[in-house]
Amino acid sequence: MLIGITGGSGSGKTSFINHLREQFSENELGLLSMDNYYKQRHEQQKDPQGEYNYDTPDSFIIDDFIEDLRKLKRHEEVRRKEYTFNNDTKAAGIVITPPAHVHIIEGLFLVHDQRIRQLLDLTILIQAKEELKIIRRILRDQKERNYPMDDVLYKYQHHVGPAFDKYIRPHIADLDLIINNNSSYSKALDVIAAYVREQCKGT
């Protein structure tokens, strides 16, 4: 079973997924992140100001991603080189996703591509107030990705925000569940964890 979790940058997808996975073994709940399917920097499009824009569906190697989703459906292992977000201080490793009863599929544009949507058994949106997403984005990009402040703010205004409105917002009505993460997602986490346990029992 593939559970797609999407949401705007800074909505809390990664934190929610990490807390969910803590409750399960690797063979019960796996994870495949769309982040590791980014094209390399020289393959990315540039905006009118000459800045690379990673916030479009074309920023990803979608065909590889879809093929790996199909592998998970067939209970096959997936191996993928880690994408380090052009952080020169971090060495890229190999991300291994072994077969599991249920897999979390995480990514910004999961529901934009119909081929991906058709492979997902459940779709979930994590959302939060705009100001909270901006703050979280700033903290994450400076700490984990070594991005300067002016770069983070520019990308949020010109790339991240418009991408949400264009590629995610139009599909919200088609999603199965929406989880608000303005203060806490603990109750929603309990609900999804219980659902995953039920799926594991039935396999």
Domain hosting residue 172, numbered range: 2-201
Q: What is the pLDDT of residue 153?
A: 85
Q: What is the pLDDT of residue 145?
A: 67
Backbone angles phi, psi at 16, to 5 degrees: -60, -45
Q: What is the pLDDT of residue 202?
A: 63
- Residue segments in the chain with a per-residue pLDDT below the cut of 50: none
CA dihedral of residues 167, 169, 173, 176 (deg, nearest 10): 80
Q: What is the pLDDT of residue 150?
A: 82
Q: What is the pLDDT of residue 152?
A: 80
82-135 residue pLDDT tens: 887 656 556 678 999 999 999 999 998 999 999 999 999 999 999 989 888 888
Q: What's the CATH code of the domain at 154?
A: 3.40.50.300
* Backbone conformation region of residue 123, classed left if phi is above 0, alpha if psi is from -120 to 50, else beta: beta
Query: What is the count of structural domains for the chain?
Result: 1
Q: What is the pLDDT of residue 79?
A: 96
Q: What is the pLDDT of residue 91?
A: 66
Cα 12 from Cα 191, distance rounded (Å): 17
What's the pTM value of the predicted model, to 2 decimals?
0.87
Q: What is the pLDDT of residue 166?
A: 93
